[in-house]
Amino acid sequence: MPFQPRDQRPRAGITAVGSLLPAEVLSSDSLQREVALRSGLTLPPTLLRQATGIVSRRVAGPEVYASTLAVGAGRRALDAAGLSPLDIDLLLFASASRDVVEPATAHIVQAELGSRAHALDVTNACNSFVNGIDLARSMILAGRARRALLVTGETPSRAVRKDPADAAEFRSGFAGYTFGDAGAAVVVEAVERGGILDVDTETHSEHWEVGGIPGGGSRHPRGDEYTYFRGDGHELRGVFEKVGTAVIDRTLHRTGMDWDGFAKVLVHQVTVPYLERFAELTGVPAGKLVVTVPELGNVASASIGVQLDRVFTELEPGQRVLFVGLGGGISIMTMVWEKS
């Protein structure tokens, strides 16, 4: 018998999706040539493409900000739902990127959209978007909101060091060469059937120093050196493998579902080898995945939103999707959603 929530309280679900990609396409080979030219390093041909499986990514132009991508994706989600900006009463900007430290980028998005909702930011690295969906759902079920627009705008390409001083600095910033930019948005509101059926999380904050962008906060308020992504990709992958699949195993056990019960499995995508390792460890069939990383790279918290936008219209009511979020810090998050 298909899994059903334990009670009959009101439900909240995703009713519309939108995404936006910057126009400029940057290939891994072009990026590598630029890094080699600016740094003077001799790099093996096609190193970035072969090591990551990423062929290209989209990059935001000088006048395209995190809010720009969020606004564009938000408008598409509202149009898909047949709504105006004034139809929402909760606006969440859920992203690892932001326009400024203060105020919340949600206010910049809201001013551009012309909405009048309660607006705030949600930030938890690459899990920001899934965390934001969960927060929107919680506020709707608590009676604090009627309809939410959740947006993300990711511009991690701004944090890529293209002129490393030496090989050690190139290695320390290597994970940044996977980054691409994107925006995504969903409308979350009360639904009569389906909706978000299950959420689970696992957090291992002792690993918070494994990777990140250290600048902009009280520890390093100034200095360009702190604005680049730093981290050991192999160490980060090792941490996720050490944590294992416990949260996914719990979700499948609690819901009584197996992979056949999901129409799609949307997982945060960092590199092609990382995605292949995820499939190997979890046993998820390759056909259930929506693979975006070879053409878009690691688009941070927009990853799951972009994937969802690509399959949303082909999903039938009653079909279920598993979201698997992976974020620096580190955190892992699962969400079971059924299309209404």
Active site residue ranges: 126, 268, 298
Report helix, strand or coil for 198: strand
- Residue 52, token pair as written in the block: 């990551």
Radius of gyration of the chain (CA): 19
**Position of tokens 């070879």?**
294
Max Cα-Cα span within the chain = 63
Report helix, strand or coil for 177: helix
Q: Exposed (0-12), middle (13-18) or buried (19+): which is 151, by Cβ within 10 Å?
A: buried
Helix and strand element counts for the chain (H, E): 11, 13
The torsion region of residue 154 among left (phi > 0), alpha (psi -120 to 50) and beta comes to beta
Q: Residue 306: name the closest of 77, 113, 26, 112 by CA.
A: 77
Sign of CA dihedral 93, 57, 276, 239: negative
Total count of residues recorded for the chain: 340
- With a CB cutoff of 8 Å and minimum separation 6, the contacts of 266 are 289, 290, 304, 307, 308, 321, 322, 323, 324
For residues 114 and 110, what is the distance between their CA atoms, to the nearest angstrom? 6
The amino acid sitting at 149 is L
Contact 229, 216 (CB under 8 A): no
**Where are the alpha helices (H) located in the chain, listed in sequence order?**
28-39, 47-52, 66-81, 105-113, 128-141, 167-172, 233-243, 246-255, 272-282, 293-296, 302-311
